[in-house]
Chain A
C-alpha cells in the first residue's frame, strides 16, 4: 500500500471517457527490461534446455518408429539391379513395381482385400456394439455378481489363445448348435463343420469373446462410468427404458470412444493371423495372411534372399496401406476418446 501511495505515477491512470467506457493508461516497462527479465535468466536457460532435449528425444523416438516404414517402402521398390549394386542402401536407384505386381497377381491381393474388408468390417462393427452393450451393463447397473463377472471378462482376455487353440478348432469343426442339440440328442447327426466360413469369427464377435475384447469392455466401461447418472435419470423420467436410453443417449455421447474401439478392433482383426489361420484353412478363401507369401522369382539372376526381403516388405506395405488411410482419419478421435474417458483403476 505504501508503495502505491509514494509513487502515484506508476499506478495505472484511469481516464473516464464516457459513461460506459473507460480508458486505462499503463506505464509500460521498457522493452529491454522486459527482454532481460524474460530471456536472460537461469530459469529460462534451464527450461529451454529441457524443451530442446525433450523435443530431440521425441524426434528420436519418432524416427525409430517411422524409420522401419520408410525402409519398408523403399526396399519394396528395389529391383534386381539394386540388390546387386553395393552402393544402394536406402533409396533404390532403379525403382520398379515388379514386386508389387507379382504379389498382387500371384497372391490374389484384390480378392483378399475385398474379403478381408468385409470380414473385418463385420467383426469390428459387431465387436464395438456388443462390447459397448456389455460395458454399459457393467458400468451403470448394480447387481449381485457384477464384479465377479467383470473379473471373468478380464480372464477371457488373460487366457492365451494358444491354450484354447485346439479345443476352439474342435468346437467349430464339430459344431452343434450351442451344444444343445447334442446334449439332449434331439437330432443325432447335426454336427456342422463351420471351418472355412466366417461363422466362427462372427459368433465369437457377437458374444464379446474376440481378440482383446476384454480390453474394449474395460475401456468402454471406464468411459461410461464417467457419464453422469443424472443424464440417464432424466431420460428415465422422460419415459425412456434402459435400452432406449442406451441407444439414443449414451451411444451418441460416446462416439469418440466408439471410434477408438472400432479402430482397434478393425485393425487388429485385419492383421490377425491367429484366428484366421485357425478357422479358415482352405485354399480358395483368400484373406490377408495369404498375401504374405513370397511370389516366384521374376528373373533367375536375382538373389533369392534379397527378393524374399523385398517381397516381405512389399506385402507388408500392401497389407497396411488401407489401415494407414483409416488411421489418418480416425486418430483424432482416438486421443480425444481416451482423454475424455478419465480411466481410473
Chain B
C-alpha cells in the first residue's frame, strides 16, 4: 500500500522516508545519457580528426594540385596549378607507371600468400604440443623487432650482400635471405612442380614465395596473432560434436575452422594491404619518397593516385571476400 502512495505523489514532493532521494540530472533517458558519455570517450580522436587529421588530408590534396612557394618570413604560399602535378607524374615521369604496376602486382601476389601462411601457422600454434609457448614466443619476435628501422637496415644490407657475393667471399649480413637459400633449393621446387604438370605461372609463384619466405614470415606476425585470437574464440564444443559425429580433421578444418575464422580472413587481407603500404621495402613508396626529395607536390599527387588505387583494391577484396564470410549469430 505504502509503495503505491509514493508513486502517486507529484515529482516535486518529498519522497517517503526510507526511500533514497531520486537524482534527476536531466530529462534524458539512461540510454541517451550513456550515448553522451560515449562522445566523451571519443573526444581525443574527434579533436585529432578535426584539428589535425582532416586539415592535413585536405592540405595534402591541395598540395597535389598546387606548387608551394616558401616566403622567407613565417609562411608559405600555394599557387594552384590544376592537374599539372598529376600530368607530370603520369606522363612526364617515365618511371612512375611501371613502378606502380609492378608494385600493385607484387601486392596482389603477396596478400594471399601472407594470409594463407599466417592462417596455417596459427592453426599449428593453436594445437597442443610440446614447447608451444616457446614457439609462440619465437614466432612473434618479428612483430616486435623487424619493423621500421631494422627492416630498413636489413634491406640495405641485403642489397649490399648481393653485390658482395659477386666480388668476394662475404660475411653473412644477417638479412635472412642467405639463410633461405640454404634451406630450399629453388630448382628442386621447380622440378617437383614440373613433374606435377601444373602451369608455369603457379610454379613461378610458388618459387617466388619460397624465395621470399623470410619476408613473408616477417610480415605475417600480426596476422598470426589475429588468427590465433579468432581460433581461440571458436567454442571447443563444436569440435567435440564434430569428433563424435566422426568427422576427420581435414573435414573439420574446412567445415568448421574456415567458416569460423572467415571474418578474420577479411580483416587480415585488409591489414596485409595496409601493412604493405607502410613497409620500408615497398617499391612504390620508396620511389615516391625519392620523388619527395625533388618535388614534394608531385610526390603528393603520386601518393594520392597510388592510395586511391589501393583503396579500390581493398574495396574489391572486401566485396569479394564478404560473399564467403560466415558470421556466427550470438544473440
A interface with B by C-beta (< 8 Å): 51, 54-55, 57-58, 60-72, 74-75, 78, 82-83, 86, 88-90, 130, 133-134, 136-138, 140-144, 146, 149, 152-153, 156-168, 170-171, 174, 178-179, 189, 191, 203-204, 206-209, 212, 215, 217, 222, 241-243, 246, 263-264, 267-268, 271-274, 288-289, 292, 303, 305-306, 308-310, 312-313, 315-316, 319-320, 323-324, 327, 331, 334-335, 338-345
Q: Are B314 and A158 in contact (CB under 8 A)?
A: yes
Cβ-defined partner of B171 (8 Å) among A268, A292, A306, A340: A306
Give A274 to B45 CA distance when docked, in angstroms. 22
Residues of A within 8 A of B74 (CB): 174, 189, 191
Using known A-B contacts A51-B129, A130-B44, A157-B274, determine if residue A60 contacts B37 with beta carbons closer than 8 Å. Answer: no
Give me 8 A-to-B residue pairs in the complex whose CB atoms sit less than 8 angstroms apart, sorted by A's number: A68-B179, A162-B289, A165-B299, A203-B52, A209-B53, A306-B170, A323-B145, A345-B264
Q: How far in angstroms is the closest Cβ of chain A from B165?
A: 11
Q: Are B148 and A272 in contact (CB under 8 A)?
A: yes
Using known A-B contacts A90-B172, A345-B266, determine if residue A268 contacts B147 with beta carbons closer than 8 Å. Answer: yes
Q: Are A271 and B171 in contact (CB under 8 A)?
A: no
Using known A-B contacts A134-B41, A243-B40, A292-B149, determine if residue A339 contacts B232 with beta carbons closer than 8 Å. Answer: yes
Q: Which residue of B lies closest to A142 (CB)?
A: B35
Give A136 to B39 CA distance when docked, in angstroms. 11
Using known A-B contacts A65-B142, A141-B37, A267-B147, determine if residue A273 contacts B152 with beta carbons closer than 8 Å. Answer: yes
Using known A-B contacts A158-B311, A166-B296, determine if residue A309 contacts B161 with beta carbons closer than 8 Å. Answer: yes
Cβ-defined partner of A309 (8 Å) among B76, B140, B173, B310: B173
Residues of A within 8 A of B168 (CB): 303
Cβ-defined partner of A137 (8 Å) among B42, B56, B139, B180: B42
B interface with A by C-beta (< 8 Å): 31, 34-42, 44-49, 51-53, 55-57, 59-60, 62-63, 68, 74-76, 121, 124, 127, 129-130, 133, 135-145, 147-154, 156-157, 160-161, 163-164, 167-176, 178-180, 183, 213-214, 217, 222, 225-226, 228-230, 232-233, 263-264, 266-267, 270-271, 274, 277-278, 285, 288-289, 292, 296-297, 299-300, 303-304, 306-307, 310-311, 314, 325, 327-328
Q: Are A67 and B176 in contact (CB under 8 A)?
A: yes
Cβ-defined partner of A343 (8 Å) among B37, B76, B161, B229: B229
Q: Are B52 and A204 in contact (CB under 8 A)?
A: yes
Q: Which residue of A lies closest to B120 (CB)?
A: A57
Using known A-B contacts A67-B176, A137-B38, A157-B274, determine if residue A319 contacts B171 with beta carbons closer than 8 Å. Answer: no
Residues of B within 8 A of A51 (CB): 129
Q: Are B48 and A327 in contact (CB under 8 A)?
A: no
Q: Are B139 and A62 in contact (CB under 8 A)?
A: yes
Q: Are B176 and A61 in contact (CB under 8 A)?
A: no
Using known A-B contacts A160-B307, A215-B271, A319-B149, determine if residue A338 contacts B229 with beta carbons closer than 8 Å. Answer: yes
Q: Are A141 and B38 in contact (CB under 8 A)?
A: yes
Give A160 to B288 CA distance when docked, in angstroms. 11
B contacts with A: majority SS? helix
Residues of A within 8 A of B217 (CB): 61, 64-65
Using known A-B contacts A161-B278, A215-B222, A343-B226, determine if residue A64 contacts B180 with beta carbons closer than 8 Å. Answer: yes
Residues of B within 8 A of A212 (CB): 278
Q: Are B41 and A141 in contact (CB under 8 A)?
A: yes
Q: Are A174 and B75 in contact (CB under 8 A)?
A: yes
Give A196 to B327 CA distance when docked, in angstroms. 48
Q: Are B41 and A162 in contact (CB under 8 A)?
A: no
Residues of B within 8 A of A66 (CB): 138, 141
Residues of B within 8 A of A144 (CB): 35
Give A338 to B164 CA distance when docked, in angstroms. 42
Residues of B within 8 A of A323 (CB): 144-145
Q: Are B176 and A271 in contact (CB under 8 A)?
A: no
User: Besides the contacts A141-B41, A178-B51, A345-B264, what 10 more A-B pairs have beta carbons closer than 8 Å?
Assistant: A63-B183, A65-B141, A163-B304, A165-B299, A167-B57, A167-B59, A171-B55, A207-B53, A316-B174, A341-B229
Residues of B within 8 A of A167 (CB): 56-57, 59-60, 62-63, 300
Q: Are A86 and B173 in contact (CB under 8 A)?
A: no
Q: Which residue of B lies closest to A342 (CB)?
A: B233
Q: Are A206 and B44 in contact (CB under 8 A)?
A: yes
Q: How far in angstroms is the closest Cβ of chain B from A23?
A: 33
Give A205 to B173 CA distance when docked, in angstroms. 35
Using known A-B contacts A64-B179, A165-B299, determine if residue A170 contacts B59 with beta carbons closer than 8 Å. Answer: yes
Give A316 to B149 CA distance when docked, in angstroms. 8
Q: Are A343 and B44 in contact (CB under 8 A)?
A: no
